[in-house]
Amino acid sequence: MTLPITPPPRPCPPLPTSRAEMAARGWDTVDVVLVSGDAYVDHPSFANGLIGRLLEAAGFRVAVLAQPDWSSCEAWRQFGRPRLFFGVSAGNMDSMINHYTANRKVRNDDAYSPNGEIGRRPDRATLAYCQRSREAFPGVPVVAGGVEASLRRLAHYDYWSDTVRRSIILDSKADLVVFGMGERTVLEVARGLDAGKTVKELRDNRGVAYRLGASESPPAGPDTLELPTYEAVTADKLAFCEMTRISHLETNPHNARRLVQRHGREAVVVNPPALPLEQPEMDQVYGLPFTRKPHPSYGAARIPAFEVVEHSVQIMRGCFGGCTFCSITAHEGRIIQSRSQESVITEIKLLAAQPGFKGTVSDIGGPTANMYQMRCTRPEVEAKCRRLSCVHPTVCKLLGTNHGPLKELMREARTVEGVKRVLVASGVRMDLARRDPEYLEELAAHHVGGHLKVAPEHTDPEVLNLMKKPSADDYVEFDKAFKAASQRVGKKQYTVPYFIASHPGSGLEQMIDLAVFLKRNGYKPDQVQDFIPSPFDIAACMYHTGLDPMTREPVTITKGLRDRRTQRALLQFFKPENYFEVRRALEQAGRHDLIGSGCDCLIPAQPPKEALDRKRSEATRAFTERTSGDHLRGGPATGKAPRKQGRQRKSVGYRPKRPGQSHQ
């Protein structure tokens, strides 16, 4: 099976991003304008680059409108009226996660923008971009896609407003939403419109969601399920849980049913997901003539996200882990889609021939480094399965866990002329890796540059069960096995474990136990993840409702910013600046036994000098800000009543550096 595309010959210039570049190609019109919240990078890891090249290979004229000024629709008019549609995406990330930290503070940089500059896309970018597309050329179909639209296609909990929001289809007024990995669906939409079909005639396509007006009757029948209404999930947390449970059980493209959710007099219809790409199709997509570089218009500007993947090669997509806090499975699917060895090696050869390549392939992997070519060994069972994870609570006996194809690929990659090292920077699934000691040995000997990323996430059994992660013992045993393998090949290497603070189920007691685990095992994590409830995720439902949607059992939730800060500090109890926060937590929990000089003690009885200095500095800064603030507000110094303090009025759009905006 192959996709209906014919790639242009190499070398191939990037797609036009301006009227002048369009005219230089001799075009007077374009078929599709791709609007993106990311900088335009002609690389398969960037959605605007991949979808643009795909449509180009299908014979369409495509222009890219990257990070346009959304204050008016003028930027949308520069290419003229697109013949087929506007394709709108917020970018590779949900725009709210891109903009704000777990503490709802504005991030200091944007990895997908030139020089990491913030403010180049609005909050809820899909909504703004769809509005400007309709305004620029009324009547031109607007097709939304990408992670933001995909994960917000139904009613969803929005962490940043702490509300249940409507489907993005209704708020954006997009004609269609393409959800999941969109290659197959986008091609079907483009070819359908090119053949003269209307948007309504494309509603039956897989991987498409759409709005039904008040006068239209929603589909019915055995292949259709009706979800609790928007009004119900807003008012009733049990209804929200039921919506979450059903929608996650209907994600296998081989058996998923159509979903309908009413929003007042309107309704949202979500068709079954698109079928996963087969290996020849994956080879086609990743074999498109990418320049693998940012658009020349950026000049010497750095695009941080590109620098991470510039010398990497993606060998597969999808993840059957089903972690409840992760959007990868929800967006890319549980079925692993792998490229052929020949396709991967061809890309590595092209990479090695590029100017500036210094011999190191920074990563061969994907969402998980060691799921390459792992599929269910019984296709007839895979077609009926509704299991949310193939590896939790145990590894499914039907799952093919053979690392043979991956080991062969790794060995072949090391032999490519011009390549000195091939690293594995993607996270390794530990429960799978431990099944193949030879893979672990090969990994330690040739593919790790001193540190290997792994994600145990927590130690508490109940929290791990809610996450759908293996036990903490699994990490301990893997860590021992990896260090032993490294020693056998004459290397001193370490695992870099990632842990999450404030995940549903994790209270103060669980985090203290995790800190003790870290102390006993000598782990000092440099990087700590704060849990962010991402739209559509099962863990986001837990956070919002306080219930596990699959069992309806209550779940401990940590919501206060101070409590979340405490959990983060406990993960890094060894840092002097966290001393007083950790001490307060231990005293609150009655764990005075962990204060002192004992083997398990997290902090000493007396604060270190660095902790005292930091506390004095913070107190001085707070006093200065308070007194200067009183003066500016007309406080005691002027005798005037201070201005009433409260929540600032919400601004329209994303305006970094505005007065009162907090940064972190």
DSSP 589: T
413 or 11, which is more confident: 413
Q: Are residues 423 and 503 in the same domain?
A: no
Q: Does residue 187 lie within any of the structural domains? A: yes
Residue 230: pLDDT band (50, 70, 90) is: very high
Last residue of a domain, one of 423, 449, 475: 449
What is the mean predicted confidence (pLDDT) over 55-75?
98
The tens digit of pLDDT for each residue in 82-109 reads: 999 999 999 999 999 999 999 999 999 9
Q: Does residue 302 lie within any of the structural domains? A: no
Three-state secondary structure call for residue 497: strand
What is the mean predicted confidence (pLDDT) over 181-188?
97
Q: Are residues 435 and 458 in the same domain?
A: no
pLDDT of residue 662: 44
Question: Cα dist. 554→238, 349, 437, 582, 603 in Å?
Answer: 11, 53, 40, 27, 33
Query: Degrees (nearest 5) of the Cα angle 191, 194, 195?
Result: 90
pLDDT of residue 635: 41
We report the CATH number of the domain holding residue 146 as: 3.40.50.280
Last residue of a domain, one of 591, 607, 623: 607
Q: Are residues 412 and 325 in the same domain?
A: yes
- Is 4 a residue whose pLDDT tops 50? yes
Provide the domain limits for residue 363: 311-449
Q: Are residues 444 and 588 in the same domain?
A: no
Residue 55's nearest CA partner among 79, 87, 11 is 87
The answer to whether the predicted template modeling score (pTM) of the entire model surpasses 0.85 is: yes
Residue 629: pLDDT band (50, 70, 90) is: low
Q: Are residues 205 and 317 in the same domain?
A: no
- Is 661 a residue whose pLDDT tops 70? no
Share of the chain above pLDDT 90, in %: 88
Q: Does residue 238 lie within any of the structural domains? A: yes
Q: Are residues 536 and 411 in the same domain?
A: no
- Is 206 a residue whose pLDDT tops 90? yes
Residue 50: pLDDT band (50, 70, 90) is: very high
- Is 490 a residue whose pLDDT tops 80? yes
Q: Are residues 244 and 376 in the same domain?
A: no
**What tokens were used for 273?**
């997901």
The tens digit of pLDDT for each residue in 421-436 reads: 999 999 899 999 999 9
Q: Does residue 12 lie within any of the structural domains? A: no
Residue 626: pLDDT band (50, 70, 90) is: confident
pLDDT of residue 663: 43
pLDDT of residue 658: 43
What is the mean predicted confidence (pLDDT) over 239-258?
97
DSSP 296: G
Three-state secondary structure call for residue 478: helix
Q: Does residue 646 lie within any of the structural domains? A: no
Question: Cα dist. 560→448, 463, 567, 584 in Å?
Answer: 39, 19, 11, 16
Q: Does residue 650 lie within any of the structural domains? A: no
We report the CATH number of the domain holding residue 422 as: 3.30.750.210
The tens digit of pLDDT for each residue in 521-575 reads: 998 988 889 999 999 999 999 999 999 999 999 999 999 999 999 999 999 999 9
- Is 632 a residue whose pLDDT tops 60? no
DSSP 12-49: -PPPP-SHHHHHHTT-S--SEEEEESS--EESTTSHHH
Q: Are residues 262 and 340 in the same domain?
A: no
268 or 627, which is more confident: 268
Q: Does residue 591 lie within any of the structural domains? A: yes
Q: Are residues 502 and 444 in the same domain?
A: no
We report the CATH number of the domain holding residue 458 as: 3.30.750.200
pLDDT of residue 631: 44
pLDDT of residue 527: 80
**What's the chain's length in residues?**
664
What is the mean predicted confidence (pLDDT) over 133-147?
98
- Is 664 a residue whose pLDDT tops 60? no
Q: Are residues 414 and 511 in the same domain?
A: no
Residue 9: pLDDT band (50, 70, 90) is: confident
Residue 193's nearest CA partner among 55, 351, 387, 11 is 55
Count of CB atoms within 10 A of residue 646's CB? 6
pLDDT of residue 617: 82
Q: Are residues 461 and 435 in the same domain?
A: no
Q: Do 45 and 97 meet the contact criterion of CB atoms below 8 Å apart? A: no
pLDDT, averaged across the chain: 93
Count of CB atoms within 10 A of residue 656's CB? 15
- Is 660 a residue whose pLDDT tops 50? no
Domains: count for the chain: 3
pLDDT of residue 659: 42
What is the mean predicted confidence (pLDDT) over 155-172?
98
Element containing residue 310 per DSSP (H, E): none
Q: Are residues 518 and 571 in the same domain?
A: yes
- Least confident segment among 208-222, 366-380, 647-661: 647-661
302 or 611, which is more confident: 302
The tens digit of pLDDT for each residue in 328-372 reads: 999 999 999 999 999 999 999 999 999 989 999 999 999 999 999
Q: Give a three-class secondary structure readout of 529-540.
A: EECCCCCCCHHH
The tens digit of pLDDT for each residue in 462-472 reads: 999 999 999 99
The tens digit of pLDDT for each residue in 373-408 reads: 999 999 999 999 999 999 999 999 999 999 999 999
Q: Does residue 199 lie within any of the structural domains? A: yes
